[in-house]
Each structure stands twice: as C-alpha cells, then as structure tokens.
C-alpha cells in the first residue's frame, strides 16, 4: 500500500488571519474591559478632512477667547485659512475686536512698531502700525483712531490689520487746538459696523461729542449738556462717560443721541462747593480675576484758610445694579503728585470696601 502524502490546501485570495495578541483580562467587564479600536491607513488620516466639519466650531470658540489666537489658527495652513472668515474682508465686525489688548503708554508716536499688552494675561506683542495713516490720537476696545496730515481719519485694528475710513474730522489746518479726550464704540450684538464716538475739546472751552460709522461722509456733532470730566471708556459696544461730580453716564444713539444715567454717587459722597473734582474711568482686574470698570475721583478741597487737601477715591462700578462702591480713599498732601503711582497700586482692587447699598 502506497503511503498517503499530505495534500496541499487550495490557494485562495483570502488574507491570512491576523495573529492573536495576548492582552490582560480585566475581571468583571465585558470582553475583559477592552473596546474595539478602528485604525485607518495613512491616506485616510488627513487632518484637513478631519477638521472640515470641526474647524468652524473650533474657530468660533477660539475667536470668543482672543482674536490673536484666531489669527494664529488661520495661519496654520491654506485650507484652514480658506475655511475661516478673513477679518479684513468683513468690515469692522466687533467679533474681531482685540478687546483685551492695549497699546503701551508712550508708543503712540514712536516708530512703526508698537507694544501691546494683554490686560488679562500681561502678555505683550509687537505690532506694526501703518504710520502712513497718521498718528494715534485715541483708542477704544483695542482699536486705534489714526489722524493723518489733512485731518484724514482711519480706524485700525492692530491685531487683524483691518482698516476703515472715517470722515475728515475738521477742515485742514483749523485755527483751534484739539484735545482728544476719549473714544468709544457703540453697537448691538450682531451689528457688523460700529458707530465711532469721539469726545473732544475744541479750543479752550467747547466740548463736543461726535459720531460716525466707517464710510460716512461727515460726523454728527452733539454739544453735551452734562458737565463731563474729559474721560470715557468703551466696553463691548457701550460708551461710558463720567461727570465732574463722579456720576456715570452712557452715550446712546437711538432714537436720538442722548445720555443715559447709569449710576449716581451716594448722597454721602456728594461734595461741597469748595471742592474741585475730576473723574476718570479705567479697567482693572478685580480680586475674582475678572476685568471690571473703576471710577476714580481726584478731589481738591480748598479751605477758607487757603489750605488745600487732595483726596483720591476709587469706586468699583456695577453697571447692572447701577451702583458705585467706594473701595479705597487716600489723602495726598498739598503739592503731592503721586496719583499715578498710587493708582497703579490700586489696580488690583481691595478686599475691604464700603457698600453704598
């Protein structure tokens, strides 16, 4: 009997079975606590395709945090740039305002590069300022108002590079001196172009409020009836101005330009007629880490004996409640000019405050 030889298995196109890989078993779980992992080939692992659906949502979240990070995201690659909105092509959309970035003091009229500081993180960046558009005369919500020779004005976003034309503010070579007290932006949520508001002093005495949108032909001019204090602060589409006494007003455009009283000084903080007051607004980091508005009052008290005292008061402003809360007060001797250093120290706020409620 001939010996039986082993018969080779018929060739097939089926792939060879993958070798078994031993793995630890986790007691008490289905399949030992392991989940099936799907792999993909190199051709399928295309991040441009993966992010096609995610990128719009991711870019919205990044933009809500800081427009500088949004610009960095757009710079990753051409497909990402094509899939996100270009701030230079959407006008002066408030979504792209660099709210947390402020030009460092002293850089307004220097070289083409200015330093900007983030008021939340203290980070700083160098930004190119197109000096062919003129000098920086005012700033609001991170934007710069530039004034060129011939009184041509432009609005410039230093982080995105967007530029918008504003009406010429005055005839060429006006015979008066111009003091740029403050600038603000007024807009509603979802509004594409803000209204730019300028608060200026013309000559020695006349104060005017003027407003216009980018692309307008002329400024609308309003003479303020309240006694303002040559200061102002713009916060997310609302332009606030303090009075000499230390009350807080908001400039509204509709139905007609007018002032809305936001908060009044408590009766015990009203001062006598022999006191000279100047108030101004600033943003400062509260002890909870949030940037909040502060109102500062410089008070010069003149006594019948001709003795003079200077008092500096700091109030936290609550716009929602319409309240001013005295945080700190300091008397400065006659002739003491330490207010700047003193306010720097007050910028972090205080745990002890006197409530006016």
CB contact at 8 A, 127 and 118: no
Closest CA to 276 of 249, 311, 231: 311
Give the DSSP letter string of 266-303: -GGG---TTEEEEEEEEEEE-TTS-EEEEEEEEEEEE-
CA dihedral for 191, 101, 324, 351, sign (positive or negative): positive
| Each residue's pLDDT expressed in tens, for the chain with a length of 357 residues | 555 544 444 444 554 554 444 444 444 444 544 445 445 555 555 665 656 678 888 899 999 999 999 999 999 888 888 888 899 888 889 999 998 898 887 655 556 788 899 888 888 989 888 888 888 999 999 999 998 877 889 999 999 999 999 998 776 667 778 889 999 999 987 777 899 999 998 887 788 899 999 989 999 988 877 788 888 999 999 999 998 888 999 999 988 999 999 998 877 666 656 567 788 898 887 777 678 899 988 877 666 666 667 788 889 999 989 999 888 776 655 444 444 443 333 333 444 444 444
What's the pLDDT score for residue 341?
41
Checking 273-278 for CB contacts under 8 A at 24+ apart, the result is 274/301, 274/302, 274/303, 275/299, 275/300, 275/301, 275/302, 276/300, 276/302, 277/229, 277/244, 277/245, 277/246, 278/229, 278/230, 278/244
Cα–Cα distance measured from residue 177 to residue 48, given in angstroms and rounded to the nearest whole number: 56
Structure tokens belonging to residue 167:
């009406």
Considering the entire predicted model, what is its pTM? Answer: 0.74
């Amino acid at each position: 009997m001939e010996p039986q030889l082993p018969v080779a298995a018929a060739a097939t196109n089926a792939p060879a079975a993958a070798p078994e890989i031993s793995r630890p078993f986790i007691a008490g779980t289905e399949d030992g606590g392991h989940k099936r992992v799907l792999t993909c080939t190199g051709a399928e692992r295309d991040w441009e395709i993966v992010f096609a659906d995610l990128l719009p949502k991711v870019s919205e979240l990044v933009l809500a945090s800081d427009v500088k990070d949004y610009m960095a995201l757009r710079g990753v690659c051409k497909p990402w740039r094509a899939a996100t909105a270009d701030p230079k092509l959407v006008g002066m959309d408030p979504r792209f305002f660099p709210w947390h970035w402020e030009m460092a003091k002293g850089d307004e009229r220097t070289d083409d590069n200015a330093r900007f500081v983030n008021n939340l993180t203290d980070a700083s960046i160098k930004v190119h300022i197109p000096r062919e558009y003129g000098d920086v005369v005012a700033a609001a919500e991170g934007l710069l108002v530039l004034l060129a020779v011939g009184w041509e004005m432009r609005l410039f976003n230093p982080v995105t590079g967007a530029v918008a034309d504003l009406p010429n503010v005055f005839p060429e070579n006006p015979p008066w001196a111009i003091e740029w007290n403050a600038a603000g932006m007024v807009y509603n949520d979802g509004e594409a172009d803000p209204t730019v508001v300028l608060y200026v002093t013309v000559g020695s005495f006349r104060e005017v409020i003027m407003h216009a949108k980018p692309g307008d032909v002329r400024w609308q001019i309003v003479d303020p009836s309240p006694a303002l204090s040559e200061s102002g602060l713009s916060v997310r589409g609302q332009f606030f101005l303090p009075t000499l006494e230390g009350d807080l007003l908001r400039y509204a455009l509709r139905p007609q330009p007018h002032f809305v009283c936001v908060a009044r000084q408590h009766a015990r903080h009203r001062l006598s007629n022999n006191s000279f007051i100047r108030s101004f607004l600033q943003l400062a980091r509260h002890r909870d880490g949030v940037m909040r508005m502060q109102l500062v009052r410089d008070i010069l008290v003149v006594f019948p004996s001709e003795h003079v005292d200077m008092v500096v008061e700091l109030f936290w402003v609550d716009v929602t409640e319409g309240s001013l809360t005295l945080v700190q007060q300091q008397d400065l001797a006659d002739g003491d000019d330490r207010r700047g250093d003193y306010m720097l120290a007050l910028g972090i706020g205080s745990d002890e405050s006197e409530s006016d409620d």
